[in-house]
A and B are shown apart, each in its own frame.
Chain A
């Protein structure tokens, strides 16, 4: 109990004094996770919709693969991306290991299956409702994909919030490909891991509280936006 009370006051102090090191870590966390969420949206939304509407051999296997990949362990993803980006690996010449770019890549790989699999399910359900009407209107496969993505946008927003949550909260992937370098690739989760390993539990938990509060704030914002927009545009 003491530790928790202590952590709350540490968290409050950090926020009040806007410690520049903490601010930098928070900014980097948000930047990396928001970027990877956007990238995964760009890949996962069309992919999920295409699989939902398309009919091709191996479709069922692909759906199972996507669903299973939602449970990819972050450390494994981190390790694979590390091996790819290492100088000794195929993408070595890019020289982006131990940089925020590497972290974005690793997190994107991690959450694309989540976005694609859930989008697939949502669009699939919508397709049942819309299929005949869209076929009657002679909507092409591509046009239907885009129409359904836009029509299910509120459900898809929730998917993206889930993806962001997963990205912002994971530590296994970013710590391996980022190296937790002070001032360069240290994000909230890796900072928490470090402080925990140094035995400074109140500070670690304080950082944790800040992280949770940020994710909560983002979700509140999204919820309010959704309500407002829904009332206006249906």
Chain B
């Protein structure tokens, strides 16, 4: 495991529409994710946060518009995603990471080293051979992060990763996210928890009914949002 680079960045979404059935989930979204910038996507329920995250990761194709990664229309390798509820296989913790590494083409002794390292960094080294599904919620999410980290991703996408966790586990996860970023991985994350965003974000993308209300550096956003909706949004939360 070493430092990540930025070959697949910036991620540029241009005039992206996403339509599902009758519903327009995203409209005319223009956004650019820059290398090394911890970008947080905020918004109400149903504003399209999760969908935008998935478009940026390449899991959802835009109905209209385009998305490029480092100038290429092909989704690059070495991007990882962590979901609100961790999706783990019915095997041991170590085996879960091994599975991900195998898909990325890493096997054998290399793989073993990466696994050891990753589990160490998230504090799960003693649970390497435990069945992943019997771990606690917090441990499972840390395992999901370890799995993502072992891939040395350029970009790590996270969809409300601490929403189902108790405060101590949530703090542990936040610490891991900080560590991953410190090694050079770009973070793109959604959250409902504004204090969390305040703690971790470099840049905020605010969504309102499928459109971008604003895209502002975090410090500025939490002090003085540029848009009227941004002000209303923070206002509403403060109440």
Q: Is any CB of A less than 8 Å from a CB of B in the complex?
A: yes
Q: How far is the CB of A55 from chain B (nearest CB, A)?
A: 14
B residues adjacent to A (C-beta < 8 A): 54, 57, 59, 77, 79-81, 83, 87, 89-92, 99-100, 103-104, 131-134, 157
Question: Smallest Cβ distance from B204 to chain A, in angstroms?
Answer: 24
A126-142: contact bitstring with B at CB < 8 Å (1 yes, 0 no)?
A: 00011011011111000
Nearest-CB distance from A222 to chain B (Å)?
A: 18
Which residues does chain A contribute within 8 Å of B132, judged by CB atoms? Answer: 234
28 contacts between A and B (CB under 8 A): A130-B87, A132-B81, A132-B83, A133-B81, A133-B87, A135-B59, A136-B57, A136-B59, A136-B79, A136-B80, A136-B81, A136-B157, A137-B80, A137-B103, A139-B103, A143-B103, A147-B99, A150-B89, A151-B90, A151-B91, A153-B90, A233-B91, A233-B92, A234-B90, A234-B92, A234-B131, A234-B132, A234-B134
B81 to A, closest residue via Cβ: A136
Instruction: State the 8 A-B residue pairs at the shortest beta-carbon distance, nearest first.
Output: A234-B131, A133-B87, A136-B81, A151-B90, A137-B103, A151-B89, A234-B133, A137-B100
Contact B131 A233 (CB under 8 A): yes
Interface residues of A in 99-132 (CB under 8 A from B): 129-130, 132
Contact of B91 among A130, A136, A138, A234 (CB under 8 A): A234
Chain B residues near A233 (CB-CB < 8 A) = 90-92, 131
Question: How far does the Cβ of A232 sit from chain B's closest Cβ, in whole Å?
Answer: 8
CA A163 to CA B79, docked complex, whole Å: 42
Q: How far, in angstroms, from A153 to B91 measured CA to CA in the complex?
A: 11
Residue of A nearest to B90 (CB): A151
Residue pairs across A and B with CB atoms within 8 Å: the count is 46
CA distance A132 to B58 in the complex (A): 10
> What band does the interface of chain A fall in when counting residues whose beta carbon is under 8 Å from B?
10 to 19
- Measured CB to CB, the closest approach of chain A to B74, in angstroms, equals 12
| A-chain residues with CB within 8 Å of residue B80 when the two chains form the complex | 136-137
A228: min CB distance to chain B, Å: 14
User: What is the distance, in angstroms, from A65's C-beta to the closest C-beta of chain B?
Assistant: 28
> A130-B87, A151-B89, A234-B132 are known contacts; what are 8 more A-B pairs with Cβ within 8 Å?
A136-B157, A138-B103, A143-B103, A147-B89, A150-B89, A150-B90, A234-B131, A234-B133
Cα distance A121–B91 in the bound complex, in angstroms:
22
How distant is the Cα of A147 from the Cα of B90 in the complex, in angstroms?
10
**When chains A and B are docked, how far (Å) is the Cα of A218 from the Cα of B161?**
44
Expressed in whole angstroms, the minimum distance between the Cβ of B25 and any Cβ of chain A is 16
Contacts of A234 in B (CB 8 A): 90-92, 131-134
Query: Which residue on chain A has the smallest CB distance to residue B75?
Result: A138
**Given A138-B77, A147-B99, do A129 and B133 touch, yes or no (CB 8 Å)?**
no
CA distance A83 to B131 in the complex (A): 51
Contacts of B99 in A (CB 8 A): 137, 147
Most A CB atoms within 10 A — which of B54, B77, B100, B132?
B100
In the assembly, what is the distance between CA of A130 and CA of B134, in Å?
18
Kindly report which residue of chain A lies nearest to residue B131, judged by CB atoms.
Answer: A234
Chain A residue contacts of B157, Cβ below 8 A: 136
A115–B131 CA distance with the chains assembled, in angstroms:
28
